[in-house]
Structure 1
Amino acid sequence: MEQQNYQYQDDSVFVIQEGSVSKKFFANVFLWMFVALSVSTAAAIFTNQIPGIQSLIRDEATLKPTILGYIATFAPLGLVLLMGAGFGRLSFNTLLGVFILFSLLLGVSLSSILIFYQLGSVVACFVAAAGIFGIMAFLGYTTEVDLSKFGPILMVGVIGLVIASVVNMFIGSSQFDYIMSFFGVAIFTALTAYDVQKIKRIGLGLEENGQQIGSNDSKKLAIMAALSLYLDFINIFLFLLRIFGSRK
């Protein structure tokens, strides 16, 4: 899945001191991200371990996706677009439901990883992705450098990755895919710091405007922010797996 860039508010730098509202908002964002990762992980393990479930989404002989497999693969992208386009119209409960469904379907889609890659390398790449994500999140939160100017550049990089991936679907070059994976890790690593700083600014904006964490808008913003970080993490993990993963 590719990163979606949602502009929640102006990218101007806030200089007010961070208060309780901002910190609670930031904590809620990471809480929802953790929930999404937990749902995806559980769905991937369940789909891979329960007999007969994996055969519903992937042909056992050819290992190619079935119709349900293609639905599970492309439905999460549609749900991301739905969340972005319907942010202003959807209620918090509806948005949360779509977010959980997105996490569930993506986990089902990613279950095939355990078919093609050795479990040890999957775990190692997941831990490495968590480490990279954690370091960049810390840097994005603590740095005083304005990262907003890098946003357009990073979005161009994401679009470039998408176009290159589509082209490689026809070329089928494993070497080209390998090279793209390094760019993918670099782009989404940088996006992590960028998104974390943007989320911090959103929290500061809520603080400045006197909004409470329990308000409908703030809760919806937390879900969308969690989605951005979730996509950053998943993409780092997947690109690392392409580079370092040991196939069966």
Structure 2
Amino acid sequence: MQDQNNDFTYQNVIQLDDADASSRKFIANVFLWMFAALGISAGFAYYFANDVTLIQYLVDFNTGSTTLLGKIAIFSPLAFVLLMSFGLNRLSYPVLTVLFIAYAALTGISLSFILLAYTASSVTGVFITTAVLFGVMAVAGYTTHQDLTKFGSILIMLLIGLVVASVVNMFLGSEKLDYILSYVGVAIFVGLTAYDVQKLKRIGAGLEYGDASAKKMAVMGALTLYLDFINLFLYLLRLFGRRK
């Protein structure tokens, strides 16, 4: 009887160890994809912002308006996100990967407008601040034992409210409201970072590493964290960035 109990305990420990190892590998894969996407976006943003020939494809310097290609670069990333999200089960892993890389490149091109509007030093400072804040919350989300599910649901509802308020303010043009919404946006994406990392940790523990579905989920997880990082960066830049 005593031997059976020991075997049962040992098997549970092995299962927990396997789940932890699977979760760590999955999270590592997610962050690898996210860092790759950030690198691609940063590269495209830098080259387009510093090459007059390339930026002319996005902005008409005679009128100061955005060209057709510029409008595509600004709005097409949303279409990529929707395509990857709703077509996850139908898209193969290679196709999903290509879409993710293309999305990161287009987002980088759209971010080149920001590099033209803000000083390089303030963009660098805000980026470092974002990286530190994101890293702290990612570690908090991974290590905490508190269930953040209810907290995440509240944040998602607040995010919907933020989007609606931002659209309304596009017509109102209130600088004070924009300032308040920027602080709200920072708070929301700080919380979502911790929530999303914890959610991805649980997904990783329930997936067999190396399976095709696990690879696809790693890419989608990277997309989620990438969006958290970029939005956090943009809201912080609106608050603390210095315009040229």
Taking structure 1 as the reference length, the TM-score comes to 0.89
Alignment of 1:236 with 2:237, yes or no, is no
| Greater Rg by CA | 2
Structure 1: gaps of 5 or more residues: 1-14
Q: Is the 8 A contact 1:28 1:222 kept in 2?
A: yes
Choose the corresponding residue for 2:218, options 219, 222, 229. 222
In structure 2, the CA distance between the partners of 1:141 and 1:240, relative to structure 1 (3 Å rule), is same
Alpha-carbon offset, residue 20 of structure 1? 2.3
Cα offsets for 1:136-195 (capped at 9, x unmatched): 000000000000111221111111111111111111222211110000000000000000
Identical pairs, percent: 53
Aligned to 1:9: none
Per-residue CA distance 1:80-138 (angstroms, 9 max, x = gap): 00000000000000000000000000000000111110100000000000010000000
Q: Which has the higher helix share?
A: 2
Runs of 4 or more, structure 1, over 6 Å off, are none
Distance 2:76 2:164 in 1: 19
Aligned residues between the structures: 229
Show the counterpart of 1:114: 115
User: Letter of the aligned partner of 1:166 in structure 2?
Assistant: V
Measure how far apart 1:62 and its partner are.
Answer: 4.7
Cα distance per residue 1:44-81 (max 9 Å; x no partner): 01111122211211222454322111111110000000
Partner of 1:140: 141
CA-based RMSD: 1.3
* Cα separation, 1, equivalents of 2:140 and 2:65: 41
Contact 1:33 1:227 in 2 (8 A): yes
1:158 counterpart = 2:159: yes
Higher relative contact order (CA 8 A, sep 6+): 1
What is the alpha-carbon distance in structure 2 between the residues aligned to residue 185 and residue 89 of structure 1?
Answer: 34
Distance 1:162 1:63 in 2: 27
> How far 1:16 moved relative to its partner?
3.7
Contact 1:73 1:106 in 2 (8 A): yes
